[in-house]
Chain A
Amino acid sequence: MTELRTFAVLVEDVPGVLNRVASLFRRRNFNIVSLNVGRTHERGISRMTVVVEADARTARLVEANLYKLVNVLAVEDISERATVTRDLALIRVSAGAEERAAILQICEVFRARVVDVAPSSLVVEITGAQDKIEGLAKLLEPFGITEMVQTGAIALTRGADTGATALHRLATEDAAADRAA
């Protein structure tokens, strides 16, 4: 059964690594819904959050193929785990003085913030899961959304477990043991 699956991927922060990951998904015909990449607290390590349409079998192949990339350090399929998952969106809405109050009210319900105001428009910032962002966008639509940008999901597993980062640490220790042996 095809569903959305989320992967946390730690990669070496080297030129071309995003291209390698994107090229792999294209070549193997894996369907990316969103892909986010950014730095981590560890120097030289970037973290990607990739959301893919996949069944369980494809998900396993996604993971195995990611590991084949030399610059990939750790991969975790966090689809079945409890996670904190967030998307960030910025939405520019047409709004004269008379519509602002109504928009602000909607924003309050969604815990969105107005981060820029111009005479005839304003920019709303919202973080949350995809359905929350879509919900806000739907309500703002009647006012006229003129521009919108979204980051794609980022995710961490809940609890003390450090997820992909722990996997990477274990793998590094294993590799050191292999070399010593």
Chain B
Amino acid sequence: MMTAEITGARALWEALVAEGVDVVFGYPGGAIMPTYDALPGYPIRHVLCRHEQNAAHMADGYARASGRVGVAIATSGPGATNLVTGIATAMLDSSPIVCITGQVPSTLIGSDAFQETDITGVTLPITKHNYLVTRAEDVAPILREAFYVARSGRPGPVVVDITKDAQLGLCRPDHGAPVRLPGYRPRRRVEAAELDEAARLIDAAERPLVFCGHGVVKAEATALLRELVDKGDLPVACTLLGLGGFPASDPRHLGMMGMHGEAWVNEAVQRADLLVALGMRFDDRVTGNLASYARGAKKIHVELDPAEVGKNVACDVAIVGDVKDALRGLVPRIAWRRREGWRAEIAALREDAEAHDVQRLPDDGRLLAAHVMADLHRLTGGEALVVTDVGQHQMWEAQYYRHEAPRSLITSGGLGTMGFALPAAIGARFARPGDEIWVIAGDGGFQMSAAELSTCMQEGVQVNVAIINNGYLGMVRQWQDLFYEKRYVATPIVSPDFVKLAEAHGLSARRVTRRDEIEDAVGFARMQRRTCVIEFQVAQEDTVYPMVPAGNDLADMIRRPRMKGVS
């Protein structure tokens, strides 16, 4: 179907509308001006960020909260390079975003023109794919392709760099033309023989563990996972990004695995005779020392990306494909079986570990971050969408905010990007307008993107922000404490008065210094119709336990010391 002749800039917005985009996050500049100039009249809202990195995080937060593709827009040169950390964050967590950048006119490419950067070259290793568009007629078909690549298969970020002359040139876009990608095969059919073999291993296992990874969330496979677990009586451990993929209240849910995973989970992994890994990639933070990792266990690896299979951990059965397809095949194949002995063994490990739990510490008047997480969970009924930053608070949240539903936790797991939480939450707000959203950030990470409070004000975005302020870059300080003989180099951090900072932005704020103030402050935040910042001044030198030091055996954990008077 041919349409009237329009500019490349208009073709761009038409293509976005055709993809169902209703919000984009961005920042204008010279080389993208024709595109911005053409925006009025299209049913797409533009959210003005305060730094392009945050535009990418907003698109990412939108994508993770909704499962749809998020869109960020920036100009050439510094606008484009500012996106880089946001793109890398989306890449490592397989988040589907499309970043559109302006580029200098095609005649100037290679001349080091004003605000010229080779952004396709720069982003080559941190994108799923990228494009340089120099002709108006290519704008719409390439955007269509970009959205398809971003969301299909293992999702990821795609950059589309569009020269100014391509935005200004005329074309007749055909938005119905099929995507032509002869080498791109995003979906693989799972093989029956592998499913049979996997089912045989599951039926034969005495001490099996199911791992719920990010792939379960992305494939929306929670219901099928529950069927598998019901039938085989299988305990489930989650990766950080898999939290919420299986409800925390289910008695078979064990909690998080890995460096700051629950002690009983890591011990169970080392005792297991079978791991059924669903949609995960055996990151070093999950496995600890690979040489001693789950040595007694056979491994079934269900993974969409064949390049992840056998990368870190060798497996006995590889099921390459979508987690949902694999579970659909596995559930009818496995036998109904109860595993009381194994469950009792894990329960004993758990009982022993719970004696170390921070919740059992006698109240010595200090406000501990873990208390904040546990109370937030209680006060929000466990139903908030929580967006965490990176560091100690992120791990405490993962341990103490018990996630019931998929897409109820958004966090930068793979890249560990500080400053991620506030902008990601702003993006998530547009995907989930009716849901309660809590940002949880440390004093360090929050200051990396605090300028986005202005965006909250200008765009009328409401999120609740919990700043866990311990006056340190806490996780680095913890490592200095444990591994660098307490030399606190460059980790003490001075913060502004966060209450005044929020108020300076026209936002509400409260400060909490004692545990008995939490309930009131959280209630206050939940009453607000605009963004509300709650600063929690917590104990300065608290440690995230348990901890598997990097490279240690998984069960070789540093535990929270038992307190006197506690059994």
List the A side residues contacting B182 at CB < 8 Å.
12, 73, 172, 175
Question: Are B185 and A60 neighbours in the complex by a CB distance under 8 Å?
Answer: no
Per-residue B-contact encoding for A166-181, CB less than 8 Å = 1, 0 else:
0000011011001000
Question: Are A16 and B120 neighbours in the complex by a CB distance under 8 Å?
Answer: yes
Partner of B307, one of A20, A27, A68, A72: A68
Are A68 and B305 CB-contacts (below 8 A) given A12-B182, A175-B182? yes
Question: Residue A150 at the B interface, CB < 8 A?
Answer: no
List the B side residues contacting A12 at CB < 8 Å.
182-183
Within 8 A of B (CB), among A15-49: 15-16, 19-20, 23-24, 27
Q: How far is the CB of A12 from chain B (nearest CB, A)?
A: 6
Per-residue A-contact encoding for B175-189, CB less than 8 Å = 1, 0 else:
000000111110100
Question: Are B310 and A57 neighbours in the complex by a CB distance under 8 Å?
Answer: yes
**How far is it, in angstroms, between the C-alpha of A67 and the C-alpha of B311 when the chains are bound?**
15
Q: How far is the CB of A18 from chain B (nearest CB, A)?
A: 12
Partner of A70, one of B125, B181, B314: B181
Question: Residue A79 at the B interface, CB < 8 A?
Answer: no
Question: Are A174 and B185 neighbours in the complex by a CB distance under 8 Å?
Answer: yes
Q: Which residue of A has the minimal Cβ distance to B149?
A: A70
**How far is it, in angstroms, between the C-alpha of A174 and the C-alpha of B124 when the chains are bound?**
28
Q: Which residue of B has the minimal Cβ distance to A45?
A: B182
Are A20 and B124 CB-contacts (below 8 A) given A64-B306, A64-B309? yes
Question: Are B125 and A60 neighbours in the complex by a CB distance under 8 Å?
Answer: no
Within 8 A of A (CB), among B92-147: 120-121, 124-125, 128-129, 132
Question: Residue A65 at the B interface, CB < 8 A?
Answer: yes
List the A side residues contacting B124 at CB < 8 Å.
19-20, 23
Question: Residue A102 at the B interface, CB < 8 A?
Answer: no
Are A72 and B183 CB-contacts (below 8 A) given A16-B120, A61-B311? yes
Kindly state the interface size class of chain A when it binds its partner.
Answer: 20 to 34
Question: Residue A85 at the B interface, CB < 8 A?
Answer: no
Q: How far is the CB of B77 from chain A (nearest CB, A)?
A: 20
List the B side residues contacting A69 at CB < 8 Å.
129, 183
Question: Residue A157 at the B interface, CB < 8 A?
Answer: no
List the B side residues contacting A64 at CB < 8 Å.
305-307, 309
List the A side residues contacting B121 at CB < 8 Å.
19
Per-residue A-contact encoding for B157-184, CB less than 8 Å = 1, 0 else:
0000000000000000000000001111
Q: Which residue of B has the minimal Cβ distance to A67?
A: B306
The B contact surface, by secondary structure, is loop
Q: How far is the CB of B423 from chain A (nearest CB, A)?
A: 27
Question: Residue A71 at the B interface, CB < 8 A?
Answer: yes
**How far is it, in angstroms, between the C-alpha of A18 and the C-alpha of B187 when the chains are bound?**
25
**How far is it, in angstroms, between the C-alpha of A74 and the C-alpha of B185 when the chains are bound?**
11
Are A60 and B120 CB-contacts (below 8 A) given A68-B305, A73-B182? no
Q: How far is the CB of A23 from chain B (nearest CB, A)?
A: 5
Q: Which residue of B has the minimal Cβ distance to A75?
A: B183
Q: How many residues of B contact A (CB 8 A)?
A: 21
List the A side residues contacting B183 at CB < 8 Å.
11-12, 69-74, 171
Q: Which residue of B has the minimal Cβ distance to A60?
A: B310
Q: How far is the CB of B304 from chain A (nearest CB, A)?
A: 11
Q: Which residue of A has the minimal Cβ distance to B156?
A: A68
Q: How far is the CB of B497 from chain A (nearest CB, A)?
A: 44
Q: Which residue of A has the minimal Cβ distance to B306?
A: A64
List the A side residues contacting B310 at CB < 8 Å.
57, 60-61
**How far is it, in angstroms, between the C-alpha of A73 and the C-alpha of B306 when the chains are bound?**
16
List the B side residues contacting A72 at CB < 8 Å.
183
**How far is it, in angstroms, between the C-alpha of A65 and the C-alpha of B187 when the chains are bound?**
15
List the A side residues contacting B128 at CB < 8 Å.
68, 70
Are A23 and B305 CB-contacts (below 8 A) given A12-B183, A72-B183, A171-B185? no
List the A side residues contacting B181 at CB < 8 Å.
70
Question: Are B125 and A23 neighbours in the complex by a CB distance under 8 Å?
Answer: yes
Q: How far is the CB of A94 from chain B (nearest CB, A)?
A: 40
Q: How far is the CB of B522 from chain A (nearest CB, A)?
A: 44
**How far is it, in angstroms, between the C-alpha of A23 and the C-alpha of B121 when the chains are bound?**
10
Within 8 A of B (CB), among A124-181: 171-172, 174-175, 178
Q: Which residue of A has the minimal Cβ distance to B307?
A: A64
List the A side residues contacting B129 at CB < 8 Å.
69-70
Per-residue A-contact encoding for B419-456, CB less than 8 Å = 1, 0 else:
00000000000000000000000000000000000000
**How far is it, in angstroms, between the C-alpha of A20 and the C-alpha of B131 when the chains are bound?**
12
Q: How far is the CB of A16 from chain B (nearest CB, A)?
A: 7
Question: Are A61 and B185 neighbours in the complex by a CB distance under 8 Å?
Answer: no
Q: Which residue of A has the minimal Cβ distance to B183?
A: A73
Q: How far is the CB of A6 from chain B (nearest CB, A)?
A: 20
Max count, chain A CB within 10 A of own CB: residue among B128, B129, B182? B182
List the A side residues contacting B307 at CB < 8 Å.
61, 64-65, 67-68
**How far is it, in angstroms, between the C-alpha of A65 and the C-alpha of B311 when the chains are bound?**
11
Q: Which residue of A has the minimal Cβ distance to B178?
A: A179
**How far is it, in angstroms, between the C-alpha of A74 and the C-alpha of B182 when the chains are bound?**
10
**How far is it, in angstroms, between the C-alpha of A70 and the C-alpha of B153 when the chains are bound?**
12
**How far is it, in angstroms, between the C-alpha of A64 and the C-alpha of B132 when the chains are bound?**
25
23 contacts between A and B (CB under 8 A): A11-B183, A16-B132, A19-B124, A23-B125, A27-B125, A57-B314, A60-B310, A61-B307, A61-B311, A64-B305, A64-B307, A64-B309, A67-B185, A67-B306, A69-B183, A70-B149, A70-B181, A70-B183, A70-B184, A71-B183, A73-B182, A74-B183, A174-B185
Known: A16-B120, A64-B309, A70-B149. 14 other contacts (CB 8 A): A11-B183, A19-B124, A23-B124, A27-B125, A57-B310, A57-B314, A60-B310, A61-B310, A64-B305, A65-B307, A67-B185, A67-B307, A72-B183, A171-B183
B residues at A contact (CB < 8 Å): 120-121, 124-125, 128-129, 132, 149, 181-185, 187, 305-307, 309-311, 314
Sorted nearest first, the 9 A-B pairs with minimum C-beta distance are A64-B307, A73-B183, A64-B306, A70-B129, A65-B307, A27-B125, A70-B184, A23-B124, A72-B183
